[in-house]
Structure formats: structure tokens, C-alpha cells
Amino acid sequence: MASRSTVIFPKDWIWGAATAAYQVEGATREDGRGPSIWDTFCRVPGAIANGDTGEIACDHYHRTAGDIALMRELGLGAYRFSISWPRIFPTGSGRPNAAGLDFYRRLVDDLHAAGITPHVTLYHWDLPQALQDQGGWENRDTARRFGELAYTVAAALGAGVHHWYTINEPWVASFLGHWMGQHAPGKRDLRVALLAAHNLLLAHGEGLVALRSEMRPGDAAGIVLNLAPCEPATDSNADLEAAHRADGFVNRWFLDALYRGAYPDDMVRLYGDAMPEVEAGDMALISQPTDLLGINYYTRNVVAHDPAAPPLETRRIVPVDAPVTAMGWEVYPRGIYQVLKRVHDDYAPGRMLIAENGAAYDDSLVDGQVDDPEREVFLHDHLLEVYRAIEEGVPVGGYFVWSLLDNFEWAWGYGKRFGIVYVDFATQERIIKRSGHWYGHVTREHGISG
Ligand code: FCB
């Protein structure tokens, strides 16, 4: 644990917490919402731990008033949430569903009334099933459909939303969803995953164009990437090269495309025939300047060469004796600093935010309280490392805890709790955890003390 000291964050620093539509809203069949690929994936036997689904989740759809009151109690300055695409376009195209737009319009208004700034992500993985039926992210046309979503949402909410993110974690949506089969739509084909990744990046580009047509001066738009330092398990050449490939797979593939306008040569060679076709103009669309880069940081990757794992020939290992969270992810606060510094030094994207950082632990409710000292230490130590980046001149402007609430953790269902607020899923009661009370203190003090 880093030593306790007093640090005060910059004046315009943003303190926030994040959620995503499918993970918290529930109400999957209400007010005209169509099915998403996650509704479908949840019905695949064995896909989700315990057979859990997002059908009810945190029932946030019906409980926004209470949840905004919680945000106030936590002293949040900002709330990052995502738009459920199938609430807006239940069949993927055609006329937008007014009830869907109204839900988010009310949410934005209520947040402003509570003095909380909305940060809106347009795609956090819940593609309308109707678009999946036409090929989903394997179909270039999905990128154009995403442009329509961006335009429609910006036209409806633009007066109240000044911070936009197109796509959350294209690496997860493409590779976990289309190569490793762990996320919707559950495919297992590298060629398909690379095509999906390209189309997700095109969607980001189409989304930016659409947002910019509606944005007002001073508004900001960007993308959210999951980034992780990739370090070799030993100093052997084989491991060093494996770590470089892993970095190409997770980090450089997206950073190079977005901020250099080209996929990295070494990875293009490695992917060989699996590479998607890149049309003239694609890379220019993808690499338009962003005003904001959201970074999600959870852990680092320690990488070993593994000839049994083609084509990347890498294996991710957790160092012996390292502290881990309930996900089995190494607790490595220094990595958040490394990522911020590296992105700034190598890509200079301008303003960055930590759009997600947090940890799952096996919390339990005892006598009406949730005592989660590990999460408190986790957040504290990561925040100190973010502060170190600020001190070194990295333009990072805010921090969002993942997550406001315990919620539907994708393939892990409700078994993994990331919230600073505990949710009793049987009653929907919310209880602020010890880490939440601590974070409330931090947001009010505007820093970490004592
Ligand atoms: C990120 C996702 C978020 C949540 C956290 C734990 O990859 O963006 O929805 O699942 O991980």
C-alpha cells in the first residue's frame, strides 16, 4: 500500500462513478425496447455464471431518482452511463423510439437538477439483436447505423450533454465477443474479430462525425479504451517479444489506428490473412482528432511466450504472491500511472480521463453494513498514482470509479461485485459500502488525506 499523505486534486478535476445500460437498467422489455445481443447471449446455456441475465439487473430504469440521491450522498460531480441502443432503435433502424429517448432526457435533466454532470457513452456492448441478425459488427453497415444512433441521441440530448464517448472498449467488444467467445455474440474466429474491431473503429469515426454536427462550442467527444501495461514475465528475448505482441494486441492496435492513422506493421504481419480489408478513407475516418480519451484501467498483463497459443504465442500470468481481486486480477496501482504517461508520451491525444477503475471483492452485508477495506485501499492507491501523472504534466482531468453500483458483470453475472454501493438483488436495497463513504469523503475534500 502506498503511504497515506494529503494530496489535493486540480480545481476543475472531475470526481465520478460509472455504469453501463445493460449492467444496471433491467426493464429489458419495457417502453418499446427491442432485444439486444446480450439478451440473446444470456439464454445460451453456460454462457453466464449461474444462468444470470440483465432482465432486472439493478432496476435502475425505475430507480433513477433514488440512485441520483445516492450519487449526491457520494458527492459525485459526474455520472458516466451508457445509452441502450435497442431502446432507441428497437429494430436497429427506422424511426427512433420516443419513449427510449425520453428516459435518457429525464435522466439528464434529473442529473443536472442534482448538480451532476452527465458523461454519455453511446455503445457499451448492447447491440440491437436485429442488427446482429444482419451480421452485427461483421457488417460495415453497422458502423453507419451507429452514426444514426449518435446523431439521434445527440439531437435529443445535446442541450444537456457536453461529454460524449462513442464506443466503450472496442478490444473487449471485438476480441472477447468474436474471438474468445466469452461475450456476446459468442463467436470464436480471429478473422471475424479483426473485422469486428475495424468496424467498431469505423463506427467510432461515424459517431464522431454525427456528434460534431450537433455539438456546441466547448463540448467534448472521444472514445474509451481499456489499456494495460504488458510486461515480460522474465527478461528472456522470447518473453520480451511476447510482451511486445501482447501490447500490440491490446493497446497499440487501437491507439495506433486512432492516433496515428495506421494499424501497427508488426501486428498486421502477424495477423496475415486474418486482416480485414481496409478501404480508402477508413483510417482517416478512424483517426479524426478526439477531444477526450477515456481510459479504463484494471490491471497489468505479465506476459510469457507460449508456443502453444497461436497466433499471438503469449500467455498472461499473474505473478506469484501478487495481491489479486475477486476477478483474479493483480492489484497493480502503478500501472494506471504507466498507462497515462505512456499514452501521453507516445500518442499525445490531449485531454484524458480515467473512465473506469475499480475492483471486485467478495463483499458481504453484515448488520446492515459492508466493510470493504481492500476496495478502499485499491481506490486510494490508484488515485495516488493518477495524481503522480498529473504532477508530471499528463493532461488527465478526472476519475470515474467502476462502479457506482454492484451490477450484472457480463459473463460473471451477479457473482462479482464492483460497486461502491452494495445492491441486495433480492430487494433492490442499496447500501453504501465503506469504500463509498470513503470516496464521498474524497470527493468533498477534493483529495486524499490522512
Ligand atoms: C470493463 C467494462 C465494464 C465492467 C468492468 C469490470 O471492461 O467496461 O462494463 O465490466 O470492466
**What is the band of 450 on the pLDDT scale with cuts at 50, 70, 90?**
low
C-alpha distance from residue 258 to each of 73, 104, 153, 355 (Å): 38, 29, 23, 17
Percentage of the chain surpassing pLDDT 90? 98
Whether pLDDT at 121 is above 60: yes
CB of 126 closer than 6 A to ligand 1?
A: no
Contact 255, 286 (CB under 8 A): no
- Whether 148 is a known active-site residue: answer no
Task: Enter the C-alpha cell of residue 235.
Answer: 527478461
Residue 5 is predicted with a pLDDT of: 61
Q: Residue 296 C-alpha to ligand 1 middle, in angstroms? A: 8
The secondary structure of the chain, three-state, reads CCCCCCEECCCCCEEEEECCHHHHCCCCCCCCCCCEHHHHHCCCCCCCHHHCCCCCCCCHHHCHHHHHHHHHHCCCCEEEEECCHHHHCCCCCCCCCHHHHHHHHHHHHHHHHCCCEEEEEEECCCCEHHHHCCCHHHCCHHHHHHHHHHHHHHHHHCCCCCEEEEEECHHHHHHHHHCCCCCCCCCCCHHHHHHHHHHHHHHHHHHHHHHHHHCCCCCEEEEEEECCCEEECCCCHHHHHHHHHHHHHHHHHHHHHHHHCCCCHHHHHHHHHHCCCCCCCHHHHHCCCCCEEEEECCCCEEEEECCCCCCCCEEEECCCCCCECCCCCECCCHHHHHHHHHHHHHHCCCCEEEEEECCCCCCCEECCEECCHHHHHHHHHHHHHHHHHHHCCCCEEEEEEECCECCCCHHHHHHCCCCCEEEECCCCEEEECHHHHHHHHHHHHCEECC
Evaluate whether 203 touches 138 at the Cβ level (below 8 Å). Answer: no
- Ligand 1 proximity of 296 Cβ (cutoff 6 Å): yes
pLDDT tens profile 198-219: 999 999 999 999 999 999 999 9
- Of residues 444, 355, 354, the one with CA closest to residue 396: 354
356 in catalytic set: yes
Q: Per CATH, which fold does 6-449 belong to?
A: TIM Barrel (3.20.20)
Q: Per the confidence metrics, is the pTM higher than 0.95?
A: yes
Peptide bond into 36 cis (omega under 30): no
pLDDT at 337 over 90: yes
Compute the distance from residue 236 Cα to the ligand 1 centre, in Å.
32
Ligand 1 atom nearest residue 416's Cα:
6
Mean pLDDT computed over 300-324: 97
Distance of CA 123 to the CA centre of its chain: 9
Task: Using the structure block, give the residue that is written with the C-alpha cell 441478425.
Answer: 133
What grid cell was written down for 310? Answer: 497461436
CA-proximal residue: ligand 1, atom 4 (nearest): 409
Q: Closest ligand 1 atom, CA of 224?
A: 8
The tens digit of pLDDT for each residue in 50-71 reads: 999 999 999 999 999 999 999 9
How many A from CA of 357 to the centre of ligand 1?
A: 9
Q: Is the model's pLDDT at 43 over the cut of 90?
A: yes
Lowest-pLDDT choice from 4-13, 314-323, 400-409: 4-13
Question: Residue 363: CB within 6 Å of ligand 1?
Answer: no
pLDDT of residue 1: 44
Decide: 301 and 338 in contact? Cβ < 8 Å.
no
For ligand 1, atom 10, which residue shows the shortest CA distance?
409
Give the residue among 108, 112, 198 at the shortest CA–CA distance from 153.
Answer: 108
**From the CB of 129, is ligand 1 less than 6 Å away?**
no
Among residues of the chain, what percentage have pLDDT more than 70?
Answer: 99
Residue spans per domain, the chain: 6-449
Q: In angstroms, what is the span from residue 23 Cα to ligand 1's centroid?
A: 9
Whether the CB of 169 sits within 6 Å of ligand 1: yes
Question: What is the number of the ligand 1 atom nearest to the C-alpha of 409?
Answer: 10
pLDDT for 358-411, tens place per residue?
999 999 999 999 999 999 999 999 999 999 999 999 999 999 999 999 999 999
Query: Which one of 138, 206, 356, 385 is the catalytic residue?
Result: 356
Instruction: Answer yes or no: is pLDDT of 3 > 60.
Output: no
pLDDT confidence tier of residue 449, bands split at 50, 70 and 90: confident
Q: Average of pLDDT values for 250-257?
A: 99
Centre of ligand 1 to C-alpha 114, Å, is 26
User: Which of 428, 398, 402 minimizes the C-alpha distance to 417?
Assistant: 402
Per-residue model confidence (pLDDT) at position 2 = 45
**Residue 226 CA: which ligand 1 atom is closest?**
7
